[in-house]
């Protein structure tokens, strides 16, 4: 099993999973005292959508959770259960 982390957002960019702040929204955040440059490196006003995928060895997405709301995050246990279920389905000798 491999886990992909995308700190530079290059994979997210390829798949259209990046949210770019408009200049108006950026200014609104700054007026509220929220400066993403303090917290994020690279281009701090381009953020990844919250997402989690399980992709099988054939490159097929078997599980996907994506949200534009950064507070809406799936619990890790949910993803682990999905992974365990997929592993059971894909065991040799198991009929569909």
- The values of phi and psi at residue 29, to 5°, are -60, -45
How far apart (Å, rounded) are the C-alpha atoms in residues 60 and 64?
Answer: 11
pLDDT digits (tens, 9 = 90+) for 38-59: 988 888 999 989 899 998 888 8
pLDDT in tens, 3-38: 888 888 899 999 899 999 999 999 999 999 999 999
- For residue 50, the cross-strand partners are 67
């Amino acid at each position: 099993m491999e886990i992909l982390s995308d700190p530079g957002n290059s994979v997210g960019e390829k798949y259209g999973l990046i949210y770019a702040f408009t200049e108006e929204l950026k200014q609104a955040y700054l007026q509220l005292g929220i400066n993403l440059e303090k917290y994020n490196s690279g281009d701090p006003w381009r953020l990844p959508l919250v997402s989690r995928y399980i992709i099988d060895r054939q490159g097929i997405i078997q599980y996907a959770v994506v949200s534009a709301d950064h507070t809406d995050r799936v619990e890790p246990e949910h993803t682990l259960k999905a992974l365990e279920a997929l592993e059971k389905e894909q065991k040799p000798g198991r009929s569909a």
